[in-house]
Structure 1
Amino acid sequence: PPSSGGVAMVEMLNILEGFDLKAAGHNSPQYVHLLAESMRRAYRDRAVHLGDPDFTKPPVERLTSKAYANTLRAGIDLSKASPSSPADVSQGYESDETTHYSVVDKDGVAVSVTYTLEAGYGLGAVVEGAGFLLNNEMGDFNGKPGLTDSTGLIGTAPNVAQPGKRMLSSMTPTIVAKNGKLVAVVGSPGGRTIINTVMQVVLNVVAFDMPIQQAVNAPRLHHQWLPNAITVERDGFPASTLDALRAKGHTVRIGGQQGTAHSIAIDPRTGARLGAADPRDRDAGAAGHH
């Protein structure tokens, strides 16, 4: 380094020396497959590790070692191409819009936080002396006074923009209690879908007695009055259910994933805090600390 050529080439040659390339045949499908798979791995490592050694610490010895090549070679399927994904080299994902987290401490004090900036750094302004960013929520006002249409545009008066007025939000940070005792902490990002996502998780717990992880994982649906349609998560509901809804006159749409409801429930018998990270979020996690 800073040239990556030598490192990458040695890494690829180390991988390929474990195959009988001559027997595969020059530029045969199998030979090209092996080249591509070794190239894929070396270039991924190039992206992850290599740069100017005055600024980084590239692990050259490891990348060019026979032992490392052996591990990479073992991951090559002779009959199928490996996937290449930006997630392979991601340095951690941070949402650029709404984030939700739930916390319960050892004394049962619960916090449900839904925090939104509305894209990236929000307004791009930091509150002097406080250190937090202001959001960019002007789009949450009703955009055109008087214009409410079937596509979902709302123009009703209560949320029309005015000087000094705060815009309407859908954030629904929720704490569920029974007889004064904590039951669950729930919340989600997702724009207008937030309210319905949180409601369904709560119903799954209190009406259907689901364990919190099952309650979070369960398929979700959304209806927001306009547009007049039920949107269901893909592969979440059987075709017979969707057909029955259509028979009742509903318009049913198949959508993507809805929300990321990172939640906590309290075991009523033991008092244990049961964290449920939503699997719809690729960097979701639940953790306990003493």
Structure 2
Amino acid sequence: MAIFPLLTAAASAQEAGAIFDSLDRIHPVWAQSGMVSAQEHLAAAIGRDIMEQGGNAVDAGVAVAFALAVTLPRAGNIGGGGFMLIHDAETGQTHAIDYREMAPSGASRDMFLGEDGEPDSDKSLYSGASSGVPGTVAGMRLALEKYGTMEWADVIAPAIRLAEEGMIVTPDLADSLEAAREQMSKYPASMAIFFKPDGSGYRPGETLVQADLAKTLKKIAAEGPDGFYKGEVAQAIASAVQADGGLITPEDMAAYKVVERDPVRGSYRGYEVVSMPPPSSGGVHLIQILNALEGYPIGALGQNSSETIHLMAEAMKLAYADRSEYLGDPDFVDVPVAELTSKDYAAAMRAQISADFARPAAQIRPADLTPYESDQTTHFSVVDKDGNAVSNTYTINFSYGSGLVAEGTGILMNNEMDDFSAKPGTPNGFGLIGGDANAIQAGKRPLSSMTPTMVLKDGQVWLVTGSPGGARIITTVLQVVMNMIDHGMNVAEASTAPRVHHQWLPDELRVEEGISMDTTRLLQAKGHNIALKDAMGSTQSIMRDPATGALYGASDPRRPDAATLGY
């Protein structure tokens, strides 16, 4: 694999994406000691600084998570939840922390159905009822206590400073806030924070102060999770949610539990792939698709050739069909993880794939096994000097969640309840079909596509990656892994290459600009319905050379303001 390190240890995503050598190969960012790759540059810098001060990857990761709640409010959060993978270099063990939101105790299977018996998307996305009990604070506390080295208050302090002193509004933040105006307009507390008193928006270069959020973060720093899940903050969240038709109670807040789970593991051409287990569907289906594709000479077929894309799309269809039937919260349903991720099952998948013709989605059904998210998610990756690593994906679902801020808290609430199957067999906000396994139930965690992932070589971290992108997260991560293993790309090339996606239903092969017209014509000739759509994902990836410990990272150029920083 050809790697061309930068002379500097840190660069923005725009800088990294603009540097080419004489062969037009994109340079990754290089560092020797530690690296953070995140969707927002201020948060990335905070994580890097934490490691420079002696913190490990987990210390840096927790600091980044709280910072993103300030600097990337459309996705970074303390009013949402997510998943974290942690690799401990000393023990060689990888741990999975599930801090996904939980359905309130008053939630019920049909709570989002209208009088006509059909799902009411306004209620499941843009009302108090759309919010599950947030898990981020509990998840970060568990990660720091078990695997970090620094004090809780110290890793939150940078986020408090940013919220209290303010940050410069970037063009991307200004645009995203303006796009969220309508959903926030019915919530005075939200408008008071993210828009000026006269209702006008913040312009690039102006300063956004979040005083209420700073106050809440100080309370969390001083009191730990109790400062969020109990007392005045919990009461304010419950009151605001209930006033808008929601169900969260103070008792639901106090009852939230974070869970450690065993990661899902697979192998791909001599590499070990470790990812998130259910209630994320990401790890299961990433490994399932890789298993199926391992039986083909993908490297010889060529990166983004019609043959490679065709095989990828056919494997994706089969995996997403299985997702619709079998995936859900393992505390409530029996998910056949071992069967779905087995090499034998992959062979059965290949037997259904024709090299010449696309199988119509209408002919595909979930396999007979016994037993049996959002564009505005965000991901960050961290690796420290000792080889410890964090892969974290978290979200409030759609951009700025439900748009609801509990007055006085500064906390944007999630609309993750839409990730349940409001009516099994009916698409959610991302067009994903869900079944009974993901039906709404009190205390249950909604199914997710988040795919924080690590790839190991000889027991050591080789790649840490992940992405936002809703239903497209799984296939985005898949293609970064394949680009590096099958096609020998460096981490920046793998992050930049055009992407494709198929999720079974709707029956369309989504492609980004950059896939050649000749290739799309050949795919159409095989029977694929091609849909040219917006860019997919925002990967934040770090590769570690096991021999030297050198780090090579890249932030996806598809989103502005991201940065990969090292020292």
Distance, in Å, in 2 between the alignment partners of 1:237 and 1:195 is 19
After superposition, the C-alpha distances for 1:66-92 in whole angstroms (9 at most, x for unaligned) are xxxxxxxxxxxxxxxxxxxx9982559
| CA gap 1:243/1:268 in 2 versus in 1, 3 angstroms | same
Counterpart residue number, 2:382: 103
1:214 and 2:493 are equivalent in the alignment: yes
1:178 and 2:466 are equivalent in the alignment: no
Query: Are the equivalent residues in 1 in contact too, given 2:463–2:542 (CA < 8 A)?
Result: yes
Amino acid at match of 1:258: M
Counterpart residue number, 1:281: 559
Which structure is higher in RCO with an 8 Å CA cutoff and minimum separation 6? Answer: 2
After superposition, the C-alpha distances for 1:242-282 in whole angstroms (9 at most, x for unaligned) are 00000000000001110000100013453211111111111
Partner of 2:565: helix, strand, or coil?
A: coil
Partner of 1:164: helix, strand, or coil?
A: coil
Which runs of no fewer than 5 residues in structure 1 stay unpaired?
1-85
Partner of 1:287: helix, strand, or coil?
A: strand
Distance, in Å, in 2 between the alignment partners of 1:218 and 1:194 is 15
Give the total of aligned pairs: 198
| CA gap 1:124/1:167 in 2 versus in 1, 3 angstroms | farther
Counterpart residue number, 2:260: none
Query: Are the equivalent residues in 1 in contact too, given 2:405–2:412 (CA < 8 A)?
Result: yes
Query: Are the equivalent residues in 2 in contact too, given 1:96–1:117 (CA < 8 A)?
Result: no
1:188 and 2:303 are equivalent in the alignment: no
Counterpart residue number, 1:244: 522
Distance, in Å, in 2 between the alignment partners of 1:258 and 1:102 is 18
| Partner residue of 1:135 out of 414, 421, 424 | 414
1:112 and 2:391 are equivalent in the alignment: yes
Distance, in Å, in 1 between the alignment partners of 2:457 and 2:207 is 37
TM-score by length of 2: 0.32
Distance, in Å, in 2 between the alignment partners of 1:264 and 1:91 is 32
Task: Please identify which structure carries the higher helix content.
Answer: 2
Q: How big is the shift at 1:284?
A: 1.2
Partner of 1:165: helix, strand, or coil?
A: coil
1:163 and 2:442 are equivalent in the alignment: yes
| CA gap 1:201/1:239 in 2 versus in 1, 3 angstroms | same
Query: Are the equivalent residues in 1 in contact too, given 2:375–2:470 (CA < 8 A)?
Result: no
Counterpart residue number, 1:6: none
| CA gap 1:209/1:173 in 2 versus in 1, 3 angstroms | same
| Partner residue of 1:89 out of 168, 180, 204 | 204
Distance, in Å, in 1 between the alignment partners of 2:453 and 2:489 is 17
Counterpart residue number, 1:201: 480
**Stretch moving more, 160-169 or 237-246:** 160-169
Query: Are the equivalent residues in 2 in contact too, given 1:100–1:262 (CA < 8 A)?
Result: yes
Q: How big is the shift at 1:205?
A: 1.1
| CA gap 1:206/1:147 in 2 versus in 1, 3 angstroms | same
Query: Are the equivalent residues in 2 in contact too, given 1:143–1:154 (CA < 8 A)?
Result: no
Percent identity reads 51
Distance, in Å, in 2 between the alignment partners of 1:282 and 1:114 is 18
After superposition, the C-alpha distances for 1:196-227 in whole angstroms (9 at most, x for unaligned) are 00010011111112111111111101100100
Partner of 2:470: helix, strand, or coil?
A: coil
| Partner residue of 2:532 out of 234, 242, 254 | 254
After superposition, the C-alpha distances for 1:30-59 in whole angstroms (9 at most, x for unaligned) are xxxxxxxxxxxxxxxxxxxxxxxxxxxxxx
Amino acid at match of 2:442: P
Query: Are the equivalent residues in 1 in contact too, given 2:456–2:462 (CA < 8 A)?
Result: yes
| Partner residue of 1:265 out of 538, 543, 551 | 543
Query: Are the equivalent residues in 1 in contact too, given 2:466–2:541 (CA < 8 A)?
Result: yes
Amino acid at match of 2:545: D
Distance, in Å, in 2 between the alignment partners of 1:271 and 1:133 is 39
Distance, in Å, in 2 between the alignment partners of 1:196 and 1:96 is 13
Query: Are the equivalent residues in 1 in contact too, given 2:405–2:411 (CA < 8 A)?
Result: no
Distance, in Å, in 1 between the alignment partners of 2:475 and 2:503 is 9
Q: How big is the shift at 1:164?
A: 1.7
TM-score by length of 1: 0.61
Partner of 1:275: helix, strand, or coil?
A: strand
| CA gap 1:177/1:91 in 2 versus in 1, 3 angstroms | farther
Amino acid at match of 2:486: A
Q: How big is the shift at 1:120?
A: 1.9
| CA gap 1:155/1:192 in 2 versus in 1, 3 angstroms | closer
Whose Rg is larger?
A: 1
Aligned-residue CA RMSD in angstroms?
3.1
Amino acid at match of 1:249: G
